[in-house]
């Protein structure tokens, strides 16, 4: 089966600093993959590359087999890649309902059908009662949930999520987690960047760890969290730094 | 007393037209962050084209508004494809310079074709006066205000009740995020730009129903449009209409109280006061969205 996303030697530099360096990995359909790493390891840059927010200096990004490296964000959405941000970027001047309708502007179908779909999505995260509320009046956690369901409006193959659990109330975190699981059961893949390792190990079947722009470990949550290079990257010490590398 | 009522009515009707005159500027500034210095040149070009159709070819004044607006829309699409789309990531000063250049070009072409003579549209069946008691209300002014009202209300509903309107307001707030959720921002920007230019030309047609005009004095209307935009905020058709009416009433009432030559001075003082009270000026406007 074709991988939802597959990168090869993905590289991105900003001035003299290489944020992502020759990174290769893949995400299989219907999986939830965690992307971890210390601050500055290149996680968010990787997400920005994977949804076309920025173009790579070199390397390929295959979405459902098609190389989209250098294409616009719109092309990535069209191919089935959507995303959320660490600080939710909802359209604050429009209502929650309108936030969900904006992404389907170029999709075939009537407004009534899209409205019903949006209502169902708002219901899944408990925001249906706020459908006509301007997004600016929602709490930070509610904005994160709104942004999440907005990313689902176009029925993506994969949703890229940047720190979905950071800074939100535990109840919101639980709603988010359940919504991700439900959607994943329906076949949507997820790639989640998070520092909340316990949350990720509960959700993900596979975790990728980055450090200094490179993938340093990849495997099941148990394998990755006990990997010496991962421990070293997070703690700056461990078997690897003591010369005990494999 | 009658004089005051007459002035209020005249001012309100004139102000309605001012709302139409400013809407295109407001839309481009609010959605695309473009300070369209060519706004008034497009407006006068639209008025001249309208004059050409009505006076030159003897066509119906009411029916000729739509063709002028359509021509301007297509012109706007062309300008976007040829110029504006390349300015998306440029600095504000570069964009303003580009549109200043467009203003000079349009003004020069207009003068070459139509000379600098002052033009007055032959109103035909719109030239009558409605008499209510001692009040005299020009039909053309009522028609111009009514058409503007219809257009601005329609625009209001388009922006607030349709999918495209929601997307435009989303794009106005954050163009990059709009692209990341799947909006073809280039295509939508092109249409919004076309609409902004079409609205500028529309402003020219309704203006020509209530006032004479000449190609080289268009910057006066640019100042008027900026005044209305500053008072009304960006992109909201209803607020623009209300601001236009406020300016119209202010202008006519002040015209009653002080000598005519000081009316403009008072209007520019109003502009200065508006900027002082809002305490944000164009920089603040740039931060706001529709």
B170 — contact with chain A (CB < 8 Å)? yes
- 3-state helix, strand and coil shares in percent for chain B, rounded to the nearest 5: 80, 5, 20
- Quickly tell me which residue has 């009304």 as its tokens: B232
A106 — contact with chain B (CB < 8 Å)? yes
Instruction: Name the strand (E) or helix (H) holding A127.
Output: none
> Structure tokens of B196?
């902004």
Mean pLDDT of A159-177: 91
Q: What is the pLDDT of residue A241?
A: 46
**Please, what is the Cα angle at A193 between A21 and A84, to 5 degrees?**
110
Q: How far apart are CA A86 and CA A166, in angstroms?
A: 7
pLDDT at B290 over 70: no
A105 — contact with chain B (CB < 8 Å)? yes
Q: What is the pLDDT of residue A244?
A: 44
Q: What is the pLDDT of residue B278?
A: 63
Q: What is the pLDDT of residue A243?
A: 46
Backbone dihedral region for residue B124 (phi beyond 0: left; psi -120 to 50: alpha; all else: beta): left
B167 — contact with chain A (CB < 8 Å)? yes
Q: What is the pLDDT of residue A128?
A: 95
How many beta-carbon pairs under 8 angstroms link A with B? 76
Question: Which of A216-220, B49-53, B90-94, B100-104 shows the lowest mean pLDDT across its residues?
Answer: B90-94
Mean pLDDT of B184-188: 92
Q: How far apart are CA B3 and CA B68, in angstroms?
A: 36
Contact criterion met (CB < 8 Å) for A89 and B177 = yes
Contact criterion met (CB < 8 Å) for A51 and B180 = yes
CA atoms B208, B212, B218, B222: torsion sign: negative
DSSP B97-115: HHHHHHHHHHHHHHHHHH-
pLDDT at B284 over 80: no
Q: What is the pLDDT of residue A237?
A: 55
Interface test with B, best of A93, A131, A154, A158 (most B CBs within 10 A): A93
Q: What is the pLDDT of residue B285?
A: 46
Residues 26-85 of A with CB under 8 A from B: 51-53, 72-74, 77-78, 82-83
Q: How far apart are CA B241 and CA B219, in angstroms?
A: 20
pLDDT at B164 over 80: yes
> Structure tokens of A75?
């092309």
Nearest CA in chain A to B180: A73
Interface test with A, best of B165, B170, B290 (most A CBs within 10 A): B170
B85 — contact with chain A (CB < 8 Å)? no
């Amino acid at each position: 089966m074709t991988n939802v996303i597959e990168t090869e030697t993905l590289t991105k530099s900003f001035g003299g600093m290489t944020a992502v360096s020759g990174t290769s990995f893949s995400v299989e359909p219907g999986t939830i993959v965690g992307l971890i790493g210390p601050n500055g390891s290149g996680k968010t840059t990787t997400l920005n590359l994977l949804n076309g927010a920025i173009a790579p200096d070199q390397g390929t990004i295959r979405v459902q087999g098609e190389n989209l490296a250098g294409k616009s964000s719109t092309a990535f959405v069209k191919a089935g890649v959507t995303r959320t941000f660490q600080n939710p970027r909802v359209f604050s001047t429009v209502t929650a309902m309108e936030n969900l309708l904006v992404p389907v502007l170029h999709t075939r179908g009537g407004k009534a059908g899209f409205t019903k779909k949006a209502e169902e999505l708002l219901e899944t995260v408990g925001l249906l009662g706020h459908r006509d509320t301007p997004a600016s009046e929602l709490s930070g956690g509610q904005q994160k949930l709104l942004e999440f369901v907005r990313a689902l409006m176009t029925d993506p193959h994969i949703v890229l999520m940047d720190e979905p659990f950071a800074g939100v109330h535990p109840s919101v975190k639980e709603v988010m987690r359940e919504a991700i699981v439900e959607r994943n059961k329906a076949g949507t893949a997820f790639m989640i960047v998070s520092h909340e390792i316990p949350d990720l190990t509960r959700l993900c079947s596979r975790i990728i760890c980055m450090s200094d722009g490179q993938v340093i470990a990849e495997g099941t949550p148990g394998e990755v969290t006990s990997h010496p290079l991962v421990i070293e990257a997070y703690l700056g010490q461990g078997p690897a730094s003591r010369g005990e590398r494999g | 007393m009658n004089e005051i009522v007459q002035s209020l009515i005249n001012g309100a009707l004139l102000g309605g037209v001012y709302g139409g005159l400013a809407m295109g500027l407001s839309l481009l500034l609010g959605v695309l962050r473009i300070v369209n210095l060519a706004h008034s040149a497009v407006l006068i070009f639209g008025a001249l084209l309208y004059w050409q159709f009505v006076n030159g070819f003897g066509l119906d004044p009411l029916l000729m508004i739509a063709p002028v607006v359509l021509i301007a829309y297509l012109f706007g699409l062309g300008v976007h494809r040829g110029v504006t789309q390349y300015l998306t990531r440029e600095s504000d000063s570069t964009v303003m310079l580009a549109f200043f250049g467009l203003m000079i070009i349009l003004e020069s072409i207009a003068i070459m074709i139509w000379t600098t003579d002052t033009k007055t549209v032959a109103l035909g069946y719109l030239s009558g006066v409605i008499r209510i008691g001692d009040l005299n209300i020009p039909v053309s002014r009522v028609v111009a205000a009514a058409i503007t009202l219809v257009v601005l209300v329609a625009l209001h509903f388009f922006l607030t009740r349709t999918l495209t309107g929601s997307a435009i307001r989303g794009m106005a707030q954050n163009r990059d995020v709009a692209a990341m959720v799947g909006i073809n921002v280039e295509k939508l920007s092109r249409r919004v730009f076309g609409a902004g230019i079409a609205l500028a030309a529309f402003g020219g047609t309704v203006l020509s129903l209530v006032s004479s005009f000449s190609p080289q004095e268009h910057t006066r209307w640019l100042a008027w449009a900026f005044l209305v935009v500053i008072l009304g905020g960006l992109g909201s058709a209803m607020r623009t209409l209300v601001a236009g009416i406020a300016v119209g009433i202010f202008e006519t009432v002040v015209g009653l109280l002080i000598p005519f030559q000081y009316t403009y001075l008072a209007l520019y003082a109003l502009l200065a006061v508006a900027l002082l009270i809002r305490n944000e000026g164009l920089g603040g406007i740039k931060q706001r969205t529709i």
